[in-house]
Copies of this chain bind each other. A is one copy, B any other.
Amino acid sequence: MTSQVYREKHRVLYYETDLKGRLKISNLFDLLMVVADNQSTQLGLSLEDLAQRNRGWVVMQHHLDVKRIPKNGELLTLTTQADHYNRFVGYRDFYIYDEQAVEIAHLQTVLVMIDQTTRKLISIEASEIEPFGATYVKKRRRLPTPLKQTTYQSDKTYRVRYLDIDINQHVNNVRYLDWIFDSLSYDFLNEHEIVSLNIQYKKEINYGKIVHSEMTYQPELLTSYHQITQDNETSCLAEIKWVPIKK
């Protein structure tokens, strides 16, 4: 079976960019998640249909590679395809191309299916994933795990807001990125761009909770290591590789 590639165009809007006119990484993720939802809906497998059967896809891990950050006004082509799955895990790939059809970013996503009531992992039904052209595999593709530090250099706290919560009744995956980026300084964010981002979700977070965004930066590796905790439990680990912006 060949996985079906779904594609959409999107012009980067002013409000999706930062003070330097660069597409914000959280907005890039928002856009890609919409593309995935639109493919699902087109195939008659919308999130609403799944939710009515008390089921839902939950992201376990995102691994993003970035060749360059798109700018305000650029016309992008966003593609997605569901490639492989096994009993418990589905793999989805996304690519972003610029107007010259040059690949500028690649996202690999690992998803699981949960029971909406018990919040427990359940097995994926073939009928939920085969319409995408996904192939059943025995051996799962493994993405590298973000490195956990024993201690972190900095720690900022946040209270979960109403608007951080999504239709799954927990903090939306993309909102973690706001806490992660805010752990880095103004000057650092101004002078660096992302090369890769690896984020692994371990435990969901609900409204009103206090979360900690911890960070350690290793300059010799140009890498920042992040942990989001809630009640002293790790909710999320992330590792970001950076490159200084050429002046």
Tell me the A residues contacting B by CB distance below 8 Å: 13-15, 17-21, 24, 26, 30, 33-34, 37, 156, 159, 161-163, 165-167, 169, 172, 174, 178, 181-182, 184, 186, 189-190, 207-208
Contact = CB atoms under 8 A, between A and B. Distances in A.
Given A34-B14, A37-B14, A163-B18, A207 B186 contact: yes
A66 B214 CA distance: 40
A169 B186 CA distance: 12
> How many copies of the polypeptide does the oligomer hold?
2
Nearest to A188: B162
Q: Which of A17, A30, A167, A184 has the most CB of B within 10 A?
A: A167
A215 to B, nearest CB: 13
Contacts of A15: 30, 33-34, 172, 174
A167 B21 contact: yes
A18 B186 contact: no
Top 10 A-B residue pairs of the complex, sorted by shortest distance between their CB atoms: A15-B30, A161-B182, A19-B165, A162-B189, A13-B34, A186-B207, A162-B186, A19-B167, A14-B37, A14-B34
